[in-house]
């Protein structure tokens, strides 16, 4: 089938590459000409496991194309997937301007009957508005239907999460649209949950926010564990054997980040408020996560008289391993607090996030190529991301390399006894 995908971020590019891998003829559309040229040269604009290899393969085999010319991409497509960003606005609502722009472009260019599929995460009812907007603006006499097909990928495992998804959710308002979407996904050979458009939109928010709730709950319990002398890892292990709870998302830490959980919890909170409903659980998750991000800094502030003149080591900048994404990363909040507190000698290491961090802090941070360089003669160390390169550092290396072996670990990488035996003053979460 001839498919066009609007947007080449995490959602759009991964979807386009995976559709091509499953045999469809795919054209990915982006407004950035330099980005298109980069992808045509075989370089992925985002760091994602297996994505670049599959992108190169399908481009060479002629199933995957990149362009800025949306008119040629949309005019005779069988299906157009909208995968553009829906960033958070100051009030927590989703910014739908990019979705609206693509919808207008589709309306002005399609020359044959077409299924428009919204993959972007959008507030409930948006697909209805998109369909009406396109129909109101149509230039040619064609039939357009809009379907919802939310993504459930995690950054770092996005390709696998798409090709080996636990389920594919499709939201349609006609048997024709449902049949076409099922045909598109037939070669994936995965379970399909077919519901109404609004239910599909809600499934996306409800799923993401439930996981955010789980994380915030464990972080809240971890904070209580510290006060009463329990160990959150022991608690999590005991909980994990209960099949009603499961073992995933039970790790305590310094909060969630990324492009989904922070944005989607605030968006659902905003949506509920607009309908006169208060989502108390979601509001609690947002509040807990906001406070959790800076828990390490507050611990360190209680211990230190000043950060000025000290070498501060930071290990890990991205919000999680396996991605170069910094959106809502705890490192950002903590670096800002450190700078505002007078820290003037900060050294940082991240295997892939350095370039993105430099865009925000080009001169205030000293960037290093190895963890050892960061730790050398440091007075204090913060761990924000559990990259394998960081987990590989042995406890005794902190004692050997640092001027003062003082470590604040937001990801509970190390065993308490191991750090104590190595002579490291070690602070973690919930232990």
Owner of token pair 């589709």: 106
Query: Do residues 183 and 242 share a domain?
Result: no
Query: Do residues 36 and 125 share a domain?
Result: yes
Q: Which of 393, 384, 371, 382 is nearest to 427 (CA)?
A: 382
The domain total for the chain is 3
CATH number (domain holding residue 242):
1.10.1040.10
Query: Do residues 286 and 340 share a domain?
Result: no
Mean pLDDT taken over the chain: 96
The helices-and-strands tally (H runs, E runs) of the chain is: 19, 14
Are 400 and 381 in contact by the 8 Å Cβ rule? The answer is: no
Query: Do residues 230 and 106 share a domain?
Result: no
pLDDT on residue 259: 81
Query: Do residues 210 and 238 share a domain?
Result: yes
pLDDT on residue 208: 95
Structural domain boundaries enclosing 329: 295-427
Is pLDDT above 90 for 110? yes
Last residue of a domain, one of 130, 163, 195: 195
**DSSP symbol at 89:** P
Query: Do residues 315 and 419 share a domain?
Result: yes
Are 104 and 144 in contact by the 8 Å Cβ rule? The answer is: no
Query: Do residues 105 and 166 share a domain?
Result: yes
Span 178-197, pLDDT tens digits: 999 999 999 999 999 999 99
CATH number (domain holding residue 188):
3.40.50.720
Span 268-281, pLDDT tens digits: 999 999 999 999 99
Strand order in the sheet with 114-118: 64-67, 25-29, 2-6, 79-82, 114-118, 144-148, 168-171, 192-195
What are the catalytic residues?
Answer: 260
- pLDDT level of residue 156 (50, 70, 90 thresholds): confident
pLDDT on residue 48: 92
User: What pTM does this model have?
Assistant: 0.91
Query: Do residues 245 and 180 share a domain?
Result: no
User: What's the per-residue H, E or C state across 44-76?
Assistant: CCCCCCCHHHHHHHHHHCCCEEEECCHHHHHCC
Query: Do residues 403 and 256 share a domain?
Result: no
- pLDDT level of residue 155 (50, 70, 90 thresholds): confident
Last residue of a domain, one of 130, 160, 195: 195
pLDDT on residue 84: 96
């Amino acid at each position: 089938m001839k498919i066009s995908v609007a947007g080449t971020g995490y959602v759009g590019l991964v979807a386009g590459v995976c559709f091509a891998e499953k045999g469809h003829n795919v054209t990915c559309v982006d407004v950035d000409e330099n980005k298109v040229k980069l992808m045509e040269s075989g370089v992925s604009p985002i760091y994602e496991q297996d994505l670049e290899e599959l992108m190169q393969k399908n481009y060479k085999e002629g199933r995957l194309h990149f362009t800025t010319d949306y008119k040629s991409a949309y005019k005779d497509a069988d299906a157009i997937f909208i995968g553009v960003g829906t960033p958070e606005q100051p009030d927590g609502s989703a910014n739908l301007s990019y979705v609206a722009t693509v919808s207008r472009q589709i309306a002005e260019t399609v020359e044959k009957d077409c299924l428009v599929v919204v993959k972007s995460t959008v507030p409930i009812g948006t697909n209805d508005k998109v369909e009406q907007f396109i129909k109101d603006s149509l230039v040619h006499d064609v039939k357009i239907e809009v379907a919802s097909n939310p993504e459930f990928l995690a950054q770092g495992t996005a390709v696998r999460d798409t090709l080996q998804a636990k389920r594919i959710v499709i939201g349609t308002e006609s048997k024709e649209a449902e049949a076409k979407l099922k045909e598109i996904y037939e070669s994936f050979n995965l379970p399909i949950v077919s519901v109404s458009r609004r239910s599909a939109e809600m499934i996306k928010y409800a799923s993401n926010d439930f996981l955010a709730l789980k994380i915030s709950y464990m972080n809240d319990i971890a904070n209580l564990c510290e006060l009463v002398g329990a160990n959150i890892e022991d608690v999590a292990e005991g909980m994990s054997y209960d099949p009603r709870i499961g073992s995933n998302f039970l790790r305590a830490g310094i909060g969630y980040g990324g492009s989904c959980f922070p944005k989607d919890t605030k968006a659902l909170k905003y949506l509920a408020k607009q309908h006169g409903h208060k989502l108390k659980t979601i509001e609690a998750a947002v509040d807990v996560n906001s406070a959790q991000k800076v828990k390490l800094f507050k611990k360190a502030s209680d211990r230190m008289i000043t950060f000025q003149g000290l070498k501060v080591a930071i290990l890990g900048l991205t919000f999680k391993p396996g991605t170069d994404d910094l959106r809502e990363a705890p490192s950002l909040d903590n670096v800002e607090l450190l700078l505002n507190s007078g820290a003037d000698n900060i050294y940082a290491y991240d295997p892939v996030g350095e370039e993105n961090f430099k865009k925000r802090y080009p001169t205030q941070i000293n960037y290093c190529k190895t963890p050892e360089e960061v730790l050398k003669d440091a007075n204090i160390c913060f761990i924000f991301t559990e990259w394998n390169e960081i987990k590989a550092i042995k406890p005794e290396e902190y004692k050997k390399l640092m001027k003062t072996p003082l470590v604040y670990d937001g990801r509970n990488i190390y065993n308490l006894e191991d750090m104590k035996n190595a002579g490291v003053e070690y602070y973690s979460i919930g232990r």
